[in-house]
Amino acid sequence: MSFKRPLILVSNDDGIAAPGLHHLVSLMREFGEVVVVAPDSPQSGMGHAITVGDTLRLEKVNIFDGLLAYECSGTPADCVKLAKHYVLKDRTPDLVVSGINHGSNSSVSVLYSGTMSAAIEAAIEGLPAIGFSLCDYSHEADFSHTFDWIRKIVRQALEQGIPKHVALNVNFPHSKHAPLKGIRWCRQAKARWQENFDERYDPTGRRYFWLIGDFINEDTGDDTDVWALEHGYVSIVPCKFDMTDYDALRSLRSWQLD
């Protein structure tokens, strides 16, 4: 009996030239047949945006030796949609992975993350999905301490499966925390960004604004992704796209609206 290698779709939000993507592609080649569909330019902070009412371009690239790979003019969610319904329209990926992102996607950042939006789009389609992120925004970030952990997580995902419509949000501490202490299954920390807009002027004197801010962690729990990362652990948060607050739903039914 012949053994069929898993089909793994790889995407990201930092763009097809990002080092994190190339590391992830290299790791996934150890597990199965790899197809890459990634943005042609950085799409960080795009969240779950999709392209509507505008053109989408998809071009084959020869960046990865021997792999079917495309760059897409759209968002990370666009990439997964095109991969599922066009590039792989007659096949179903056994796993979709996104990353490795340059920067953390823990806590509330998951809502803004293009990396996780690619994974969540896959989960919406009923595909097992994982988003990988490293808490280092540098283009020259050291990813090497994440490789064995990624292998472990992907191996378990392929062997044990991921619950349907769930995407795993995996974050790695900065390499300064290496060797890492282990993996923690976590909940999303209750935190927020305190935004500020720096008012500036371009060379012609026209005013513009630059978004800056601080991450405010209001959660003291030791079971959160932020706690795990700060203490040298890999954090994994199972995420789903149903954003219903069921406690609030039960409470709000008492409103007199009839």
Annotated binding site: 13-14, 44, 101
Q: State the Cα–Cα distance between residues 168 and 236, nearest whole angstrom.
A: 6
Annotated binding site for a divalent metal cation: 13-14, 44, 101
Q: State the Cα–Cα distance between residues 89 and 174, nearest whole angstrom.
A: 38
Q: Please state the separation of Cα 173 from the chain's center in Å.
A: 15
Q: Take residue 249 and report the two structure tokens written for it.
A: 């739903």
Among candidate residues 171, 176, 109, the one with its CA nearest the CA of residue 141: 176
CB 45 within 8 A of CB 114: yes
DSSP string, 161-203: ---TT-EEEEEE--GGGPSP-EEEE-BPP-EEEEEEEEEEE-T
Q: Please state the separation of Cα 111 from the chain's center in Å.
A: 10
Q: State the Cα–Cα distance between residues 170 and 223, nearest whole angstrom.
A: 14
User: At a CB cut-off of 8 Å and minimum separation 6, what does 169 contact?
Assistant: 105, 106, 110, 116, 119, 131, 133, 188, 225, 235, 236, 237, 238, 239
